[in-house]
Every structure is written in structure tokens, then in C-alpha cells.
Amino acid sequence: MAQYRYKALNKKNRVVKGVVGAVNEADLYTQLQSAGLELVQCSEIKKSGGITIMRAPSVKTRDLLTLFINLEQMQGAGVPLLDALSDIRDATDNDRLRDILSETYRSVSEGASMSEGFAAQPKVFSNIVVSLIKAGEETGDLTFSYREILKYLKWQDALQSKMKKATRYPIILLAVVVLTVVIMLGVVVPQIIGFISNLGQELPFYTKALMATSEFFQNYGVYVGIAPFALFALYKILRGVSREFAYRADRVFLSLPIMGPLIRKITIARYAQTFAALYASGISVLGCLKSGRNTVGNLALYEAFENVEEQVKTGSSLSEAFNFTGEFPSMVVRMVRIGEESGNLTPVLAQVSEFYSKDVEESVDGMIAMIEPMLTAFLGGMILWIAASVFGPIYSSFGEMDF
């Protein structure tokens, strides 16, 4: 199925642009007509090396929250699924989401399930969302699935918002520090160096160090600025071509003093939240383990979760499998064991997720509280070094003058 970029007019004669999949232009016209849009112009998006040239606008978590809130309300009101998809599609402001809902509407109208339609958009609808909807279709209780999805998306959105809010000020402060260093070493210090050199006296070591640093920055500043981006690009390439490199790099990240525990806590919180939502919907333990594993980005922990699945397949309990890997804190193993023995695994895992979510927030706040004074001290030290290197020789020259 080809992807088409289109330009259309809605019922208010306003221009609407987007990207949608269609068999041909006639199919595209039919889809837009059903969505209440009048096709004005369209063109097929060409592909180069299997990669689409145009990049469609993203669908954010807030857009998905709005989608599933509407689906839950319409399901509770007894609105048929096709009518619900059509109404939400016409009301959404996100062009990309509207196009996805158009494709989903067509798939469902042709006999596919909604989970199959959403599964065709893996970049927008995660595996947990598709799994929960599929479970709701099998049990006939889509309302419960929508509620679990909303609970998961709200948790995810809250965690992302906290992380962004916590890191916003340190990023701004870091940018100020970098900009100050660039201006001082690249503009201010070179203008003063000539004057200091003409004083005709032995310069202190810290002034010589400043002059050497400024000269190095003038000669190789461009390379210093490019180096971080080049190293990051090299890291991404190596990570993509070598699984062993990716595993070792992730293992190093886990062993870092502050970042390592934070990565582990975020991963466990996301995994527990996913497992609890899926298990509450009636999905098997192995299905929950597989879906939860797909939310893990760290390869070292990913393989640990794979080992958990293998242990459960051989007959081990979930707590025993977690304990066997050696990657999970004893508190998690203990709480899972309690959940298994009491038959209340879902609330226990929800408590684990809530505990680690709060722990992540506290850890991030603590890390930010440490980074801020460090950056401030670095900036103050840099300014003090420049001031001492400049005014020190000048003050010494005054003492050697004969009045």
C-alpha cells in the first residue's frame, strides 16, 4: 500500500494536509470523502532505499489520551465502533492521527479488528496498547481495556512531564555555561592576551595556562564543537551494527554511580506498570512478560527479562525467575512473591511501579540538586581563573613601576 501526501478542504473550506495510506488515488479520494474532506491535490510519497522521504508529524501521548478518553466514553454510551472512529477522526486536530484513524476505520469496515488496525501503526500504538485492546475484544469488555490504557498513558505522561520539568533548568544552565566559556575563550581572552604579553614580565603559570587554552580553542574550537556529535553518531552506528557493543555499553551505563540506579528504577517501573495492566486484562503471564520486555530499552536488562521468560517456561515461579537473573532488587522479588502467594499479583505490581516512579522522581530531583551547584561552581571558577590570569600580571606590573 502506497503512502500519499494530500491537500484537501474540510466542511468549513479550510485547508487540511496530511499523509495516508491508499491503494491508489481513487481509494484515497474515497477515504477522504468518508472523512468529510474534499481532495484538492495529492502525490505519492516516493521511497529511497526503503525509507520514506517525508516525515509525518508525530502523535504525542496527550493525543493518545484524548483518543482513548473519547473511545471509552463512546463505548460506555453504546456508540458503534465505526461511528466512534469516524466521529473522533473528524474531531481530532492532529493531522497524523486523523490519517491513522482513517486507515483504521477502513480496516475495521473491511472486517479487521481494531487491534489489527492499530497494530499496523507500531510507531504510534505500542505493543501494550494493542495487547490490551486485543484482550478487550476477546473478553468483550473494551471499556475495561480503555481504562487500563488510560491509566498506563497517564502514568507515562506524568513520568515524562516530571523528567522534562526536572531537567529544563539544568539544560538552560549548561547552555549558559557553554556559551560563556565560548565567548570568554574565543573572543574576550584573545583581545587581552596581546596586552598582557607586552607587559615584559614573567607571567604566572595560571596566566600561561589560560593563554594556551585560548590559543588551543581558537585553533581547534571547531573540532571540539564537532567532536561530541561525531562521537554520538559513532556510538549510534556501532550500537546498530553490533549487538555485543550495545550490550556492553548498556552494562556500563548500569554500573555508573548515579545514572545506573536511575536507569534500573525507570525500567522496573515501566515494566511493572505494563505487566500489571496486561495481567489485569486477563493476558497470560508469558504474554505479559513478552509485552513488558518490549518496553525495555537497556539491552542488559532486556536479556535479563528474556531469562525471566525462559525460567517461567521451565516451571519456575515469577519471583524465582526474577531472583535467578540477579538484576532485580530484593524488594521487587519479595513483593512479587507475596503477590503470587496471596493471588493479588496485579495490585502488588502496581505498587512496585508506584514505588519506583516516586523513587525515580526523588532520584532525578537529587541528581538535579547536585548538578546545579556543580555547573554554577564551574562557571564561577572559570570567571575567577580568567580574572586572576588577567588582573594578576597587571597588578604586579604596577608594583614594578617607578613613580
Domain count, the chain: 3
pLDDT for the residue 237: 93
Backbone dihedral angles phi then psi of residue 16, each to the nearest 5 degrees: -125, 130
Residues 252 and 293 both lie in one domain: yes
Confirm if 356 and 268 have CB atoms less than 8 A apart. Answer: yes
Whether 6 and 71 share a structural domain = no
Q: Are residues 328 and 350 in the same domain?
A: yes
94 lies in which domain range? Answer: 61-155
Closest to 95 in 3D by CA, of 169, 167, 5: 5
CA dihedral 10, 15, 16, 21 (to 10 degrees): 90
Is 161 inside any structural domain?
A: no
Angle between helices 243-255 and 205-241 (to 10 degrees): 130
Do 33 and 73 lie in one domain? The reply is no
Cα angle value 130/131/133 (rounded, 5°): 65
Report the predicted TM-score, pTM, of the whole model to 2 decimal places. Answer: 0.68
**Does one domain contain both 181 and 311?**
yes
Residue 51's pLDDT is what? 42
Question: Which of 122, 155, 188 finishes a domain?
Answer: 155
Place of cell 538552560: 172
Provide the grid cell at 333.
Answer: 522479588
Which H or E run includes 28?
helix 25-34
Q: How far apart are CA 184 and CA 190, in angstroms?
A: 9
Q: Which residues pair with 257 in a beta bridge?
A: none
User: Can you give the pLDDT of all 403 residues of the chain as single tens digits?
Assistant: 677 777 887 777 777 777 777 767 777 777 777 777 778 888 877 755 444 444 556 788 888 999 999 999 998 888 888 888 888 887 887 878 888 888 888 888 888 888 898 988 888 888 888 888 888 888 888 888 898 889 888 888 887 887 777 778 778 888 888 888 888 877 777 877 777 777 666 778 888 888 888 888 888 888 888 998 999 999 999 988 998 999 999 999 888 887 888 888 888 888 888 888 888 878 888 888 888 888 888 888 888 888 888 888 888 888 888 888 777 788 888 888 888 888 888 888 888 878 887 887 787 777 777 887 888 888 888 888 888 887 777 777 666 655 4
Tell me whether residue 364 is in a domain: yes
The answer on 403 and 307 residing in a single domain is yes
**Final residue before a domain boundary, out of 126, 155, 184:** 155
Instruction: Name the 3-class secondary structure at 269.
Output: helix
Closest by CA to 258, choosing from 190, 178, 360, 386, is 360
Distance from C-alpha of 303 to C-alpha of 296, rounded to nearest angstrom: 10
Same domain, 141 and 173: no
Q: What is the pLDDT of residue 397?
A: 66
CA distances from 101 to 111, 118, 198, 367 (A): 15, 9, 73, 41
User: d(Cα 333, Cα 347) in Å, to the nearest integer?
Assistant: 15
**What pLDDT is recorded for position 52?**
44
Question: Is residue 322 located within the same domain as residue 221?
Answer: yes
pLDDT, residue 101, reads 87
Widest pairwise Cα distance in the chain: 100
Please check whether residues 70 and 146 belong to one and the same domain: yes
User: Which CATH number does the domain housing residue 365 bear?
Assistant: 1.20.81.30
Q: Are residues 32 and 87 in the same domain?
A: no
